[in-house]
Amino acid sequence: MKAFVLTGYKRPLELRDVPEPTIGEHDVLVRVDAAGVNQLDDKIRTGEFKQILPYSLPITLGHDVAGTVVDIGNKVQSFAVGDEVYARVGTDRIGTFAERVAVADTDLAPRPTTITTVEAGSLPLIALTAWQVLVEQANVQPGQKVLIHAGAGGVGTVAIQLAKHLGATVATTASASSADFLYDLGADLVIDYRADDFETALSGYDLVLDSLGGENLEKSLRVLKPGGKAIGIAGPPDPTFAREAGLNPVLRLAIGVLSRKIRKQAIKLGVTYQFLFMHADGDQLRRIAALVDDGTIRPVVGVTYPFDETPHAVNALGQGGVRGKTVITFPTDESRTA
């Protein structure tokens, strides 16, 4: 089958013929109909995450999939051939920039029925990230105040809608041109990051979802109320992540050093910093699908690329300017390789 493969860090993806995925007894073979493109894909391509995600090259990239079940392992009970599904594949099973991918049945869910396959392919990683920040880690409650950075990005568009559903007051940062769009998604306050300083405009927040890191994260700590929490998805990783990821002692020590400054700042301010590296979860995707189908969450697809333009789609992420997600679309089954 055809797949786009990373052969060396910082190199463009290459189209190659690769072996058909093998499926274990609890695996599902999915024909890929749409695949979301994420910042994580480009960070892996450039080698930014090679210390905490030490993949052996060459490797097929891609984390999001929406598609159709074409085969199942002999102990799979929840899916059947022909089912339309979606998933963020497990970290050790990436490879959705390919015609087919094997997915653990616990990472897979029936896709929402009220949206297109392309929209379904845009959701898994960003929706799981939003869910795991807002529900799993922060347990956001009605009346709390939440700041979501980069509201017009993939994670931001879903997180705004989910936070409003949970009853929070939601502020977000974005360009002024995106303000009306973000108010329509449910934001209560949109701060133009080019013209205004969110640190002077906001105070007393319960939670910040930070996707930018660096100075932006440091300033985010200062808008929290005592006991508040900043959850970063861009880093730096913290010791809890290193421990849960099973990293070796040397890497654990290095990660502790990397995050020491921001953790000390948080302690001094009486707040908490946590790093989130989201995980695959089919049960959470089922709950997200229900929210999509009842109209609570609507996916935002900014641009699509055909499968043969996958390298350009990944490279273009760094240029910005896209609202929501970039999605790769695949040719009809009849025109694919056998």
What is the domain count for the chain? 2
Instruction: Please check the confidence at residue 335 and state whether its pLDDT lies above 70.
Output: no
| Residues above pLDDT 70, as percent of the chain | 98
CB 276 within 8 A of CB 132: yes
User: What mean pLDDT value characterizes the chain?
Assistant: 94
Shared-domain flag, residues 146 and 265: yes
pLDDT for residue 336 = 57
Long-range contacts of residues 15-21, Cβ cutoff 8 Å, at least 24 apart? 15/308, 15/310, 16/58, 17/337, 18/60, 18/98, 20/100, 21/95, 21/100, 21/101, 21/102
In what helix (H) or strand (E) does residue 64 lie, and over which residues does it extend? strand 64-72
In angstroms, the CA 242 to CA 248 distance is 8
CB 4 within 8 A of CB 92: no
Shared-domain flag, residues 143 and 157: yes
Give tens-digit pLDDT for 75-122: 999 999 999 999 999 999 999 999 999 999 999 999 999 999 999 999
In a domain? residue 290: no
- Bridge partners (DSSP) of residue 173 are 191
Amino acid at 311: P
Instruction: Please check the confidence at residue 333 and state whether its pLDDT lies above 70.
Output: no
**Which band of pLDDT confidence, cut at 50, 70 and 90, is reported for residue 140?**
very high
Shared-domain flag, residues 158 and 256: yes
- Bridge partners (DSSP) of residue 171 are 147, 189
* pLDDT (average), residues 205-232: 97
Shared-domain flag, residues 154 and 47: no
In angstroms, the CA 125 to CA 154 distance is 9
Which string of b and e fits 50-71 if b means at least 16 CB within 10 Å? Answer: eebbeeeeeebbbbbbbbbbeb
In angstroms, the CA 269 to CA 89 distance is 37
**Which band of pLDDT confidence, cut at 50, 70 and 90, is reported for residue 266?**
very high
* pLDDT (average), residues 299-303: 97
| Residues above pLDDT 90, as percent of the chain | 86
**Which band of pLDDT confidence, cut at 50, 70 and 90, is reported for residue 235?**
confident
Which CATH number covers residue 147? 3.40.50.720
In angstroms, the CA 34 to CA 92 distance is 20
Shared-domain flag, residues 243 and 331: no
* pLDDT (average), residues 245-255: 81
**Which band of pLDDT confidence, cut at 50, 70 and 90, is reported for residue 338?**
very low
Shared-domain flag, residues 133 and 104: no
Maximum distance among all alpha carbons in the chain? 61
In a domain? residue 330: yes
Shared-domain flag, residues 146 and 189: yes
Which CATH number covers residue 107? 3.90.180.10
* pLDDT (average), residues 193-199: 95
Shared-domain flag, residues 252 and 137: yes
CB 233 within 8 A of CB 133: yes
pLDDT for residue 252 = 84
Output the CA angle 260-56-32, nearest 5 degrees.
Answer: 105
Q: Do the bridges between strand 169-174 and strand 145-148 make them parallel or antiparallel, or are there none, so unpaired?
A: parallel
In angstroms, the CA 206 to CA 195 distance is 24
What's the whole-model pTM score?
0.95
* pLDDT (average), residues 1-10: 96
Amino acid at 182: L
Shared-domain flag, residues 187 and 143: yes
Amino acid at 213: G
Torsion of CA 130, 131, 136, 137, to 10 degrees: 10
* pLDDT (average), residues 193-218: 96
* pLDDT (average), residues 212-227: 96
Range of the domain at 141: 126-275
CB-count exposure of residue 113 (10 Å: 0-12, 13-18, 19+): exposed
In a domain? residue 291: no
- What sign does the dihedral 11-13-14-18 (CA atoms) show? positive
Shared-domain flag, residues 247 and 150: yes
pLDDT for residue 334 = 54
